[in-house]
Amino acid sequence: MSIQTIATRPFSDQRPGTSGLRKKVAVFMQPYYLDNFVQALLDVLNASGGPDVPRESGGSGGSGGEARALAGQTLILGGDGRFFNRPAIQTILKLAAANGLTRVVMGCGGILSTPAASAVIRRRQAFGGILLSASHNPGGADGDFGIKYNMSNGGPATETLTEAIYARTQVLNTLYCSDAQDVCIDKIGRLQVEHMQIEVIDPVGDYAAVMRSLFDFDLLSGLFASGFLVRVDAMNAVGGPYAKQILEGEIGAPLDSVVNFAPLEDFGGHHPDPNPANVDDLIYRMSSKGMGAPKLGAALDGDADRNLVMGRNFLVTPSDSLALLTQYARLIPAYQGGLAGVARSMPTSTAVDRVAKALGIPCYETPTGWKFFGNLLDAGLVTLCGEESYGTGSSHLREKDGLWAILFWLSVIAVTGQSMESLVRDHWKTYGRSYYSRHDYLDVPVEYVDTLMKDLHAKLPALAGQTFGRRTILVADDFAYTDPVDGSTSSHQGVRLVFDDASRLIFRVSGTSTEEATLRLYMERFEPDPACHCEPVALAVAELSALAEHISKVRVYTRRAGPTIAT
Ligand code: G1P
Ligand code: ZN
């Protein structure tokens, strides 16, 4: 076993997006593609001067014996189990061992859900973690793969760090890699590659301990003992083992509550993106009546950080979910002292803003992507946060957390005795309803989307103050954000039109698509009058949708008759 020095050449397309580097599996399988990115990451980390690490501490082999911050440090490693997860783990172990890392803690089988990875990093005070996932993107040999780095707070790397990694990929010419044999990652225990120790752990243990510390498991057991039924679709992705152990194993949900629970490399052909377009079976089951019908339905995504929740025949939007969790947070042991504040991404509806106002706590509006919540959580400015894209979470981790949201909803139901539908309808009565819809135009040629956004941008100065039918535009801008903690700025985060009736239209280009471009149009119509809270959503936002087309000509620019997905 020895460390090899291998010549390589940069790949020009290794800039991380909204959540790490995501590409087609075939791209990742090119010789050295993954290796280059990981080497660049390790180079940047080694040069960073980590916490409490003397600069002169060297370690064996690797990039020439200069001071390296990874010496003496632990990294966490795991992924969502999709195709290419296992070979990628072996490659990363060999690179990490050759670059002076002292210890890796990894999930058995190479498995760690994204929230579990965040939990392990935090509980074990690791230097950081490497997460292998393309989240809700399709899996399998023809699907997507992804890699991202999370920092010692358990949260996604900052833009400064991801930009440094990208810069390094563009000048990289040398890899340091052990020529050791592949190791067996399927047994809990200890291994070694070069001088690097590897601890293979139960992927669920740390995460389950965090859940036990937040929620009243006895209360939840009581709910199930009383006959409550839940149905959680894990979409044959990584969330299955977590949901099975915690819901069925620890709090007594009936044995068939978690379906599609075995993680498969191709997610069993499911598209593990928990939005209404992909959960027909769940929606069908939740429409059934009678004794055996579940009262709470939920679905998780590929890496188990997203959640969709619904009651009987009643879908809850992620924006409403965040607002209701905020409203009822004091019922949960971990939040009974109240919330410091809340945060939502800019396109997420303003439902949570109204609850925050009533509670007298601040509500922050951030750009899209969980990384923007990290500083707010670290500084103790917010306790809960969420995004319209089926993500909710809290200060317990630095990632969104699908199963946490399910446990939270179950707790609220257990304490209040109300159904999801009646909880949400009561909320609308008190705070008004934000009708919400997102239209996605997938795989549009990049130049069409670029031209659309450029032309829309040029129209912005003239749009403010204009009246369209019964609505006048109050704000027309390209959202920019200044982080209140470190003062860093992020611009061009989406075009935003805010109307005088508090309705909003938002146009944004996705940062996670792996082919061509994805344009997202977000529509929010605020309706304070309880007499108008029963319209079908598509009808309720039809006028806004027509207005969006009138102003932006999305269908003309994209050469599409309509959105690929409307949720
Ligand atoms: C999407 C979601 C965003 C989420 C991200 C990672 O990013 O819209 O809210 O944080 O996935 O899960 P987008 O493709 O819009 O850039
Ligand atoms: Zn995800």
Q: What does 464-498 look like in DSSP terms, one character per residue?
A: TT-EETTEEEEEEEE--EE-TTT--EE----EEEE
pLDDT in tens, the chain (567 residues): 899 999 999 999 999 987 899 999 999 999 999 999 999 999 999 998 544 333 333 333 344 445 589 999 999 999 999 999 999 999 999 999 999 999 999 999 999 999 999 999 999 999 999 999 999 999 999 999 999 999 999 999 988 899 999 999 999 999 999 999 999 999 999 999 999 999 999 999 999 999 999 999 999 999 999 999 999 999 999 999 999 999 999 999 999 999 999 999 999 998 999 999 999 999 999 998 777 889 999 999 999 999 999 999 999 999 999 999 999 999 999 999 999 999 999 999 999 999 999 999 999 999 999 989 999 999 999 999 999 999 999 999 999 999 999 999 999 999 999 999 999 999 999 999 999 999 999 999 999 999 999 999 999 999 999 999 999 999 999 999 999 999 999 999 999 999 999 999 999 999 888 779 999 999 999 999 999 999 999 999 999 999 999 999 999 999 999 999 999
pLDDT of residue 51: 40
Atom of ligand 1 nearest to the CA of 511: 16
Counting ligand 1 atoms within 8 A of each CB, the residue from 159, 373, 387 with the most, and so the one to mutate, is: 387
How far apart CA 314 and CA 102 sit, in angstroms, is 50
Ligand nearest to the CA of 520: 1
Q: Which of 561, 524, 294, 560 is nearest to 420 (CA)?
A: 294
Q: Which residues pair with 471 in a beta bridge?
A: 468
Ligand 1 pocket check for 19: Cβ under 6 Å: yes
Residues of the chain with CATH 3.40.120.10: 3-203, 208-431
Q: How far does the centroid of ligand 2 lie from the alpha carbon of residue 517, in Å?
A: 19
CATH assignment, 208-431 = 3.40.120.10
pLDDT of residue 288: 83
Ligand 1 pocket check for 389: Cβ under 6 Å: yes
pLDDT of residue 41: 98
Residues of the chain with CATH 3.30.310.50: 433-566
Q: How far does the centroid of ligand 2 lie from the alpha carbon of residue 500, in Å?
A: 34
By the 8 A CB rule, do 237 and 81 touch?
yes
CATH class of 433-566: alpha beta
pLDDT of residue 53: 34
Helix (H) or strand (E) holding 47: helix 33-47
Tokens standing for 389?
């894209």
pLDDT of residue 367: 97
Catalytic residue flag (residue 287): no
Counting ligand 1 atoms within 8 A of each CB, the residue from 368, 400, 507 with the most, and so the one to mutate, is: 368
pLDDT of residue 58: 34
3-state class of 205 per DSSP?
helix
Task: Name the amino acid, one letter, at 533.
Answer: H
Residues 6+ apart with CB under 8 A from 562: 439, 555
Ligand 1 pocket check for 345: Cβ under 6 Å: yes
Q: Which of 347, 344, 271, 393 is nearest to 509 (CA)?
A: 347
pLDDT of residue 292: 81
pLDDT of residue 56: 35
pLDDT of residue 448: 97
pLDDT of residue 195: 95
Place of tokens 């989406």: 494
CATH class of 3-203: alpha beta
Ligand 1 pocket check for 274: Cβ under 6 Å: no
Counting ligand 1 atoms within 8 A of each CB, the residue from 18, 118, 345 with the most, and so the one to mutate, is: 18
